[in-house]
């Protein structure tokens, strides 16, 4: 009976080896180091491009609001939060901003950023673009105000009150 149990066992040479060899592990570690040295800086550059893209959207929205206020001779309001911008326009001269502003593509001008990039407006509040091109702190247009947009990971933008120029 003992002979039967010996015959049923497979020889050690037929059992496949498991695991990795030392040279395979060394090669994998070298490749991981090379990828870290070359891929991570490119990934960081891609993140900074995303920061610049949001900054460019804010800049374009402010320029569009100012040009629309002048061309339509209407008050345009820009509501800026940390992650979105919404533009509205007055329906008649001297009225408050109540209608959504249509962009060049026909849709409403509403931009938002889903990444971790945020914008801080100083001084905070709604931005009013007057029909004469000035940027003011109120609907009446009595006080021109210069606004600064600060971004995480990107340079700041300045919106000049007297001219409406964005830099």
| Domain extents in the chain | 22-159
Q: In whole angstroms, what is the distance from residue 24 CA to residue 22 CA?
A: 5
Rg of the chain taking only CA atoms, in angstroms: 31
| Tokens linked to 165 | 């120029």
Residue 47's pLDDT is 60
Q: Which of 120, 134, 124 is nearest to 162 (CA)?
A: 134
- For the chain, list residues with pLDDT below 70: 1-15, 17, 43-51, 106-107, 109-118
Residue 8's pLDDT is 60
Residue 127's pLDDT is 92
Q: What angle do CA 166, 53, 157 make, to 5 degrees?
A: 25
DSSP state of 83: S
Q: In whole angstroms, what is the distance from residue 106 CA to residue 34 CA?
A: 48
The model's pLDDT over 58-78, given as tens digits with 9 standing for 90+, comes to: 888 899 999 999 999 999 999
Q: In whole angstroms, what is the distance from residue 167 CA to residue 157 CA?
A: 6
Architecture of domain 22-159: 3-Layer(bab) Sandwich (3.55)
The model's pLDDT over 112-135, given as tens digits with 9 standing for 90+, comes to: 665 556 677 777 788 999 999 999
- Pairing type for strands 147-151 and 84-90 reads unpaired
């Amino acid at each position: 009976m003992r002979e039967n149990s010996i015959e049923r066992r497979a020889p050690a040479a037929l059992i496949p080896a498991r695991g990795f060899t030392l040279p395979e592990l060394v090669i994998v570690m070298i490749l991981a180091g090379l990828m870290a040295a070359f891929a991570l800086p490119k990934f960081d550059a891609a993140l900074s491009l995303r920061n610049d893209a949001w900054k460019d959207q804010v800049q374009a929205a402010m320029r569009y609001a100012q040009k629309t206020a002048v061309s339509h001779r209407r008050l345009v309001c820009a509501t800026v939060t940390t992650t979105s911008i919404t533009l509205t326009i007055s329906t008649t001269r001297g009225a408050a901003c109540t209608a959504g502003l249509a962009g060049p593509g026909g849709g409403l001008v509403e931009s938002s950023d889903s990444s971790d990039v945020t914008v801080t407006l100083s001084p905070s509040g709604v931005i009013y673009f007057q029909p004469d091109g000035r940027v003011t702190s109120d609907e009446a247009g009595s006080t021109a105000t210069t606004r600064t947009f600060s971004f995480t990971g990107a340079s700041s933008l300045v919106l000049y009150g007297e001219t409406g120029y964005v830099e």
